[in-house]
Structure 1
Amino acid sequence: MKISGVEIRPGNILEYEGGIWKVAKTQHTQPGKGGAFMQVEMKNLIDGRKTNVRFRSADTVEKVRLDTKDFQFLYAEGESLVFMDVENYDQINLPTDLLGDAAAFLQDGMTAVLEMYDERPISVQLPEQVEATIVEADAVVKGQTASSSYKPAVLDNGVRILVPPHIASGTRIVVNVYERTYVGKAD
């Protein structure tokens, strides 16, 4: 499906110069002289390269539809992750870098959505939010609780995030996987 250069949004998958690219950021710019354009930061889903491209409103680009399929995370094996198709129980090994920083939030049995292009997995989407346990939290500095300040904490998966002052070590919390931010206490 062809779309105009100014209709590109973050998260879109585009076919550009013979590759498959995922849009990371977009910025609409209207200079004083000349026509408006969309500055697009993209990452190649096949080889991981990044690029910045300007698309004018007259430019068209092919938006790609990816097939999505649910897989269950089984275990990590060296530099690869093993997932199982929930429909036919086939197992697939994927490189850890396909998930990027989100790989730290993988939990046994977690359901992930694999995006496939020509039957080949090119992207893995984890749930937006996961539960984790605080294993280490700094002490609150006296007088700091009056403002909306946050303190550093370490999760059970080794990820460092900022949490409100009232959160103590051992507390189960909900974390946004992709922004690595505190959402709230777990039920």
Structure 2
Amino acid sequence: MKINGNAIRPGMIIEHQNRLWVARRTMHTQPGKGGAYLQVELKDIRSGTKLNERFRASEAVERVRLDEKEYQFLYADGDMLTLMDQETYDQINIHKDLVGEPAVFLQDGMMLTVSTYEDEPLAVALPESVVLEVVETEPTVKGQTAAASYKPAMMSNGIRIMVPPHIETGTRVVVMTADQTYLERAKD
């Protein structure tokens, strides 16, 4: 689908120079001389290389639509992840790099969204949040809760996050997968 060059938004996937790119940042610029343009930071989906490109409103850009499908995470074998299609029960293997840093949050049975283009997996999205158990944290010091302070905590998957002072070892908390931050105490 063709779109105007100034209609590109962060997160959109476009075809440019015969490659697929995801727009990371966009900034409208109107110089004193000449027409306005959109400065776009692009990242190649396959190789990860970055490119800064200018698009004018008069330029036509090909926007790519990816197919998205839900898969269930079964297990990890080295750098490969095995996922299962919930409708056909077919299994696929993908490289852990498609998930990126959030791979530390993978749990057995977790539902993942796999984005494909022409049957080639390009990206894997985890749920926005996961429930983890605090395995180690410092005890609360009385009177320390007057100000909004946080303390470090080790989670059951091995990452460290900052939690409020009232969270103790053994507590289950909700953690955001995108930025590895504490959201709330789990409601279970």
Scaled by the length of structure 1, what TM-score is found? 0.90
Counterpart of 2:54 in structure 1 is 54
Partner residue, 1:135: 135
Aligned pairs (5 A) from 1:36-47: 36-47=36-47
Which SS does the other structure have where 2:178 is aligned? Answer: coil
Alignment map for 1:62-141 (pairs within 5 Å): 62-140=62-140
Report the equivalent of 2:145.
145
Alignment-derived partner of residue 171 in structure 1: 171
Once residues 31 and 13 of structure 2 are traced to their aligned partners in structure 1, the CA distance between those partners, rounded to angstroms, is: 27
Larger radius of gyration: 2
> How far 1:119 sits from its partner (Å)?
0.8
**2:184 is the alignment partner of 1:181:** no
Aligned-CA RMSD value: 1.9
Query: 2:25 aligned with 1:14, yes or no?
Result: no
**2:29 maps to which residue?**
29
Separation in structure 1 between the aligned mates of residue 77 and residue 19 of structure 2, nearest angstrom:
29
Structure 1 residue 109: deviation in Å? 0.4
Deviation readout 1:3-40 (Å, 9 max, x if unpaired) = 22222222111111111112222233344554433332
Q: Unaligned stretches of 5+ in structure 2?
A: none
The equivalent of 1:160 in structure 2 is: 160
Give the whole-Å Cα distance in 1 for the aligned partners of 2:33 and 2:137: 52
Amino acid across the alignment from 1:56: R
Give the residue type in structure 2 aligned to 1:50.
Answer: K
Seen in structure 2, the aligned counterparts of structure 1 residues 74 and 5 have a Cα distance that, compared at 3 Å, is same
Where 1:10 maps in the other structure, the secondary structure is: coil
The alpha-carbon deviation at position 143 of structure 1 amounts to 5.3
What is the CA distance between 1:141 and its match in structure 2?
5.7
Structure 2 CA distance for partners of 1:27 and 1:145, relative to 1, 3 Å: farther
Give the secondary structure class of the aligned counterpart of 2:48: coil
Secondary structure (helix, strand or coil) at the match of 1:104 reads helix
Q: Distance in 1 between matches of 2:161 and 2:93?
A: 29
Taking only the aligned residue pairs, the percentage that are identical comes to: 53
Distance 1:50 1:154, change over 3 A: farther
SS at match of 1:116: strand
- Amino acid in structure 2 at the alignment position of 1:13: I
Aligned length: 187
Q: Distance in 2 between matches of 1:134 and 1:42?
A: 38
C-alpha distance in 1 between matches for 2:36 and 2:169:
51
